[in-house]
Amino acid sequence: MSTNAHPEAPSETHRLARRLGLFDVTMLVMGGIVGAGIFMNPAVVARSVHTPALMLAAWALGGLVALAGALVYAELAARLPQVGGQYAYLREAFHPSVAFLYGWVLLLVVQTGGMAAVAVTFAHYFLELTHAPLGEATVAGVALAALTVVNCLGVRAGGTLQSALMVLKIAAIVALVGCGLAFVGAGGAGLSPALDRPASLDLVTAFGAALTPVMFAYGGWQTSGFVAGEMREPRRDLARGLILGVVGVVALYLAVSFVSVAALGAQGLAATETPATAVMRLALGERGAKLIAAGIATSTLGFLSQGMLTAPRVYFAMAEDGLFFPSVARVSERTRVPVVAIVLQGLLALVIAASKKYGQILNYVVSVDFIFFGLTGLALFFIRGRARLEKVSGAAHDPARFKVPGHPLTTAFFVAACWLVVASTIYKNFADSVVGLLILAAGVPAYIFWSRRRGNKYL
């Protein structure tokens, strides 16, 4: 159990500005999920399973896992509306060391590596559209630097930009679906036959392989909890925003998957590397291809904006706990945001983008990321158990306004799904997974160093 339970510490409620509402939270949830993946991953799924029914089933099941996770995180947010979100849940349920290790890999590789990869993707589509005489690394660097500056101006500025970009992303996806249906038709989406091979272990492993890119495409909703300390009504709005946002993304993803296989057919979808571009080219020619390229560029920029807004609050919370450089907990008196934490993340993402090692880095941390998802699901069992004990002893009442429907089965389903992804990733990419686990293990001596620096409080 944590020795640092403080449901709403003064530093969290008075230093950071509470300026985000339900709409902002919902857009943050959706913005954390929707990047470039949905425009490309339907083809990856189609190369693992070969009938429209199985493809749509993979996206539907992935959506159920994401919704189960959103329900779990919604209850945790109602119980612990603290800055840092997932970091705080792990700290309070287990021990500050577990939370620190999560923040460690988030800063060094998960968040910064992901942002570097997405920044280069943005640069690719930007240059394709503009033909500017610049290199991809330069454009990616400018984008990361600009978003760093915007988010240093205040959470309202960052939130407004993020919401605007998310609305444009939704418009791009709706345009893709609408053009695909209106100009191409839905003749290729028949659901018969349902299976592409006899029911067997081979079918199960193929479907599991199809689920891997689906699960990654649905990831990111958890980052909205990082800014709970800057929401006006975190107990209410974070839970609602998580559910609304995830349900909205599931609907969008199913629509994109349907229109992709409807327009291109199962074999055509598997054969292309850029399904969204292929659909829009069929519908509107080269003009359609350029329009969706602009949509993808906007989507990647929105994903970067969301990451720049949310994740620095984890490093801020680490520093608040005395487990990181004290300057990272510094809040600007004028803008009331953790400027040093934001700049630190931006600089690391810039370095990784310039190194061109982001793809390799992302391979290292896939299994590690889902380990912490599973642990956060388990955290709900611990926190609920503690609340029951406190209620029985008369020490406290249960603060949760939202509770997971179907718990413990819903929560167990989410935990099991996360750790199945971990097992599958380690099995298929053993060498990269070992490197990721070594990066995680390197956080142990770092934690010991910071704990001793603050007087062994958390050892």
Average pLDDT score over residue span 68-76: 91
d(CA 274, CA 181): 18
| Cα torsion 292, 27, 244, 87: sign | positive
d(CA 265, CA 268): 5
d(CA 107, CA 377): 21
Q: Which residue has better confidence, 398 or 406?
A: 406
DSSP state of 222: G
d(CA 232, CA 379): 25
Q: What is the pLDDT of residues 409-418, one digit of tens each?
A: 999 999 998 9
Q: What is the pLDDT of residues 289-301, one digit of tens each?
A: 999 999 999 989 9
* Whole-number pLDDT of residue 91: 94
pTM for the predicted model, two decimal places: 0.86
* Whole-number pLDDT of residue 12: 41
SS3 95: coil
> Residue 1 — pLDDT band, cuts 50, 70, 90?
very low
> Residue 399 — pLDDT band, cuts 50, 70, 90?
low
In 375-404, which positions are buried (b, 16+ CB within 10 angstroms) versus exposed (e)?
bbbbbbeebbebbeeeeeeeeeeeebebbb
Average pLDDT score over residue span 43-58: 89
> Residue 190 — pLDDT band, cuts 50, 70, 90?
low
d(CA 94, CA 383): 9
Query: Residue 343 burial by CB count (10 A; 0-12/13-18/19+): exposed, middle or buried?
Result: middle
Range from 54-58, 189-193, 424-428 carrying the lowest mean pLDDT: 189-193
Q: State yes or no: pLDDT of 11 exceeds 50.
A: no
> Residue 395 — pLDDT band, cuts 50, 70, 90?
low
Q: State yes or no: pLDDT of 375 exceeds 50.
A: yes
Q: State yes or no: pLDDT of 9 exceeds 60.
A: no
Q: State yes or no: pLDDT of 53 exceeds 60.
A: yes
Range from 157-161, 295-299, 398-402 carrying the lowest mean pLDDT: 398-402
Q: What is the pLDDT of residues 123-142, one digit of tens each?
A: 988 998 888 999 888 999 99
CA atoms in the 13 A half-sphere facing the CB of 7: 13
Instruction: State the distance between the two ends of the chain, measured CA to CA, in whole angstroms.
Output: 12
Average confidence score pLDDT of the chain: 85
Average pLDDT score over residue span 258-280: 89
Answer yes or no: are the C-beta atoms of 425 and 365 closer than 8 Å.
Answer: no
Q: Which residue has better confidence, 257 or 388?
A: 257
CATH class of 10-453: mainly alpha
> Residue 3 — pLDDT band, cuts 50, 70, 90?
very low
Q: Residue ranges per domain, the chain?
A: 10-453
Cβ of 317: how many Cβ atoms within 10 Å?
Answer: 29
Q: Which residue has better confidence, 265 or 363?
A: 265
> Residue 420 — pLDDT band, cuts 50, 70, 90?
confident
Q: 3-state SS of the chain? A: CCCCCCCCCHHHHHCCCCCECHHHHHHHHHHHHCCCHHHCHHHHHHCCCCCHHHHHHHHHHHHHHHHHHHHHHHHHHHHCCCCCCHHHHHHHHCCHHHHHHHHHHHHHHHHHHHHHHHHHHHHHHHHHHHCCCCCHHHHHHHHHHHHHHHHHCCHHHHHHHHHHHHHHHHHHHHHHHHHHHHHHCCCCCCCCCCCCCCCCHHHHHHHHHHHHHHHHHHCCHHHHHHHHHHECCHHHHHHHHHHHHHHHHHHHHHHHHHHHHHHHHHHHHHHCCCHHHHHHHHHHHHHHHHHHHHHHHHHHHHHHHHHHHHCHHHHHHHHHCCCCCHHHHCCCCCCCCCHHHHHHHHHHHHHHHHHCCHHHHHHHHHHHHHHHHHHHHHHHHHHHHHHHHHHHHCCCCCCCCCCCCCCCHHHHHHHHHHHHHHHHHHHHCHHHHHHHHHHHHCHHHHHHHHHHHCCCCCC
Average pLDDT score over residue span 278-294: 90
* Whole-number pLDDT of residue 102: 96
Q: State yes or no: pLDDT of 234 exceeds 50.
A: yes
